[in-house]
Amino acid sequence: MKNNNQEVMRRLSMRSLKNNRMRNTFAIAAIALTCMLFTTLAAMGTGISDAMQESTMREVGGRFHAGLKAATAEQMEKTVSDSRVKDYTWNIFISVAENLNKRQYEIRMPQGEEELENSFIKLEQGTMPQKEEDIIVDTYVLDELRLPHKLGGEIPLEFTFHGKKITRTFRVCGWYEGNRLGHASELYVSEAFWNQLKGNLTDRDFKKWAKENPQDTGVGLYSVGLYFESPKNSEETVRSVIREAGYYPNGEDEGYSWEESLDYGVNWAYMQNRAENSDPLTIVVLCSVFVIILLAGYLIIYNIFYISVFQDIRFYGLLKIVGTTKKQIRSMIRRQALILSAVGIPIGLASGYAVSNLIFPFVMEMTAYTDLDLKIKFRLSVAVFGILFALITVFISCRKPGKIAGSVSPIEAIRYTEGNRSRKKNKKSETGAQIHRMALSNLGRSRKKTALVLVSLSMSTILLCMVLTGVGSFRVDAYLEQRLLGDVLLASTNIVGNGAVRVGDYELDKDYVKLADSQPGVISKNELWQVYGIADIFMDEKALNRYRKYQEEGKLRQDEWGMEVIHNAKEKQQLDTRIYAYDEAVLPKLKVLKGELDLQKFAQGGYVLLTDIIGDYTAGASVYEPGEKLKVLEASEDSDFIETKDENGNSTGGYWENLKETEYEVMAIVEIPASMTDQSYPVNGVQMVLPKQDVQNSLDSWCFGISYEVEKEYLEQFTQAVKDYSENVNKNMGYLTKSSLEEGFQTMIGSIRMIGIALSAVIAFIGILNFINSIITGILARKHEFAVLCSIGMTEQQLKRMILEESLYYVLISGIISVALGTALSRIILLALNNVIMFFAYRPNFLAFVIMLPLFLVLAALVPYLAYNRMKKESIVERLRNTEE
């Protein structure tokens, strides 16, 4: 016969909740902390994702999902009429400024303000161009022309349009802050100027011109940004849209005419399109943090309800006597957990967003996104994530305690004392009861509860140990060695900083070098040379077989570019390479992997230093071994470039014939530090070092960098001189200094340290809450037991000592666990990073134990004292009577 006693159970649950105020306080704090951690993790993850996405969009040049390239007006109109295209913007590419050389400046005619907004351009002053002489420019143009950042300045431009040289002076009608992440600056002219410039030329004329002059592809035609319902599957959508409009997407068919073809691109900034490229290490780190948070939250919430159930075990036994079922008792505990969650979760959400906003700027300092000025935004998905996983943690945590409460029999509950179900018969003591033995045996009375407290206490110390050990293992000297030679490196901004990548930009300005040479205090100067023209290695059969083997073993990159290199290597037996040369003083910086580096023999000529194949999994993958001979192929004055064309006469590239062959013997297999390269790498190819005189005699070679060692007292003066030149004379010239690199490195390490310590502090707080809750509720639950001990002769001092020692045993045992596991895990996990991070070398660090263990000792002394003082407010007789009742 069913009873409708839901209202009775609700009242019982609420009254039981009200009688456990201390438990409620700890539970709400634990739930709030758990929710805060989940919210912070989700908010930080989405914030970093937004930063990566916006940074890439700025680099790409727009927010569009996909884009049409070099489209005619008719092609654009047909394409954007598709219902899947929700919005679009466009601009017309005109030319590139030829009289400004600090950066690439592209001249365009925009659709309107919407086009600027979607290209991340916000006018600081001014309006859209209306008159023929109006132009919108960025701060890079104004700085190069040494004009103030205000309206009205005159901008002289020289450019080529449709084969004609154009010289025109414009007036600034608007200006915006230059985009450091972009590869070029956009200069926007008016429709009136465009109509005057193009005259009677049509889209057909521009298409025909581009066919005959491939370098002018896109001039006079539309660049269109398309926006769909969602960026998901953008490539499939844009290809389908182009086909539905009656055109062939590029790469689909090689037999169509230019009237039938339509080129497109996809904005790869959107994370939905890049999920398959996610960094496995990042995924592992995020999953590890998630598991730590889940485990930490579970431990404390579980422990709170577990202790609470055993504290109220007699209450649940009485409920069983009057007919309450297991299901009803479990439901009562779940209801209490839900009510506590309703209080704790909103606090956790608010705290999570507050903490995220506090930490996010420090995280940005660790990345290349400091200029984006992004902030954590409220997202419903983040709030749902925090609420959902906090609730999951709560209900998983209270499931077992609820099961225990529902399963206990009435007789067991009435007779229950902590540990009575598992306690074995003790041997008679020959020495009598000793306080420290009693305290230690008390920990074994409820081994599960003790284990939970020990794990939660130990976790924070172990985590902090790993964080501090990891941070202390970063080697600034190794970092500087990888990034910089000497004290100061002079090179193009393409090598030492951001800039528009153009061939001429890599070459050092001779006046820049003269300025550096003339500075006082220069101790030494070393040049870094490079062959920048055609340079390959001819692979003999032995080398080619090795290369094929590496491909079969999956060591080579299999992406589009990697496969092109592999195909060329197999078909022509030519392997892509980068050729470098250095002064003799720099050569010892190379790391020798096989063979020996004999500087004297190397200087005499005829020898080459070769790297393993460049790739992700190519360590030890050498195409040639020391002692073997190889041929280097280079373009010379006698070489011929043979252009290839398709059946319609369109250029498809070309190849070189009559390359110069030079034979060398491989002296050693080496590793070249990044500081000695131009920061580019031949994927599935190799790098090599030739004698300096051989490279200098090449047809296409240059000195791409010079490193200087400067006396300490003159270093600041030297740095200021090259800084003034790079900022005021030639902005394509850049420099790197040890002090700037070290400062940036220390900022990154400081941010990692702060985030790690913050996470450790939260986990430690959870452990401390668990410890305090366990000690206080344990003491209050054993009031009857303590009253009995006092009634048979135990003094108040002895009782206080027993409680204190019991608490200290928690700290002692957790300390042993922390030291053992913290040291072992740090060594196992962090040693693995030695081979992953170039500037990382595991170094033990015991500071975490010095910080945490004294803190726990103070708590171990303070908490029992406070709990005992609260308990002793009742007399022994009152405690005996109240418990019996």
**Residues whose CB is less than 8 angstroms from the CB of residue 514 and which lie 6 or more positions away in sequence, other chains included:** none
- Going by their DSSP bridges, the two strands 733-737 and 591-595 should be labelled as unpaired
- Domain for residue 522, yes or no? no
Structure-token pair, residue 815: 């300390």
Q: Other C-beta atoms within 10 Å of 828: how many?
A: 10
Looking at the fold, whether 244 and 165 belong to one and the same domain comes out as yes
Q: Quick check: 283 and 376 in contact, CB under 8 A?
A: no
What is the distance in angstroms between the CA of the first residue and the CA of the last residue of the chain? Answer: 33
**Could you tell me what percentage of the chain is helix, strand and coil, using 3-state DSSP and rounding each to the nearest 5?**
55, 20, 30
Domain termination site, one of 678, 699, 720: 699
- Domain for residue 723, yes or no? no
- Domain for residue 513, yes or no? no
Phi, then psi, of 663 in degrees rounded to 5 = -95, 135
Q: Quick check: 105 and 236 in contact, CB under 8 A?
A: no
Stretches in the chain below the pLDDT threshold 50: 1, 251-254, 271-279, 417-432, 498-504, 883-885
CA separation for the pair 676, 678 (Å, rounded): 7
Q: Quick check: 611 and 580 in contact, CB under 8 A?
A: no
- Going by their DSSP bridges, the two strands 105-110 and 185-189 should be labelled as parallel
Instruction: Please return the burial class of 425, using the count of CB atoms within 10 Å of its CB with bins 0-12, 13-18 and 19+.
Output: exposed
pLDDT in tens, 101-159: 767 889 999 998 888 888 888 899 999 999 999 999 998 899 888 899 999 999 999 99
Closest CA to 128 of 145, 146, 149, 151: 151
- Domain for residue 6, yes or no? no
Looking at the fold, whether 252 and 130 belong to one and the same domain comes out as yes
Looking at the fold, whether 50 and 84 belong to one and the same domain comes out as no
pLDDT in tens, 773-826: 767 766 766 766 777 777 777 777 888 888 888 888 888 888 899 889 888 888
Phi, then psi, of 706 in degrees rounded to 5 = -135, 130
Structure-token pair, residue 310: 């055993």
Looking at the fold, whether 656 and 783 belong to one and the same domain comes out as no
Looking at the fold, whether 84 and 29 belong to one and the same domain comes out as no
CA separation for the pair 184, 173 (Å, rounded): 20
Looking at the fold, whether 208 and 184 belong to one and the same domain comes out as yes
169 to each of 156, 157, 165, 642, 734, how far by Cα in Å?
A: 4, 6, 14, 41, 30
Radius of gyration over every alpha carbon of the chain, rounded to an integer in angstroms: 36
- Going by their DSSP bridges, the two strands 123-126 and 134-138 should be labelled as unpaired
- Domain for residue 526, yes or no? no
**Residues whose CB is less than 8 angstroms from the CB of residue 37 and which lie 6 or more positions away in sequence, other chains included:** 293, 296, 297, 352, 762
Q: How many domains does the chain contain in total?
A: 4
Q: To 10 degrees, the CA torsion angle through 347, 350, 351, 355?
A: 170
**Structural domain for 555, as ranges:** 533-699
- Domain for residue 72, yes or no? yes
- Domain for residue 642, yes or no? yes
Closest CA to 161 of 184, 134, 189, 141: 189
Q: Quick check: 576 and 684 in contact, CB under 8 A?
A: yes
Looking at the fold, whether 398 and 340 belong to one and the same domain comes out as yes
Looking at the fold, whether 671 and 779 belong to one and the same domain comes out as no
- Going by their DSSP bridges, the two strands 660-671 and 87-96 should be labelled as unpaired
Residue-level pLDDT at 157: 93
CA separation for the pair 724, 721 (Å, rounded): 5
Looking at the fold, whether 750 and 806 belong to one and the same domain comes out as yes
Looking at the fold, whether 253 and 292 belong to one and the same domain comes out as no
Residue-level pLDDT at 277: 44
Domain termination site, one of 676, 699, 722: 699
Closest CA to 783 of 667, 652, 875: 875
CA separation for the pair 43, 55 (Å, rounded): 18
Closest CA to 516 of 757, 743, 733: 733
- Domain for residue 709, yes or no? no
Q: What is the 3-class SS of 655-706, one letter each residue?
A: EEECCEEEEEEEEEEEECCHHHCCCCCCCCCEEEECCHHHHHCCCCEEEEEE
Looking at the fold, whether 479 and 550 belong to one and the same domain comes out as no
CA separation for the pair 164, 690 (Å, rounded): 44
Looking at the fold, whether 325 and 219 belong to one and the same domain comes out as no
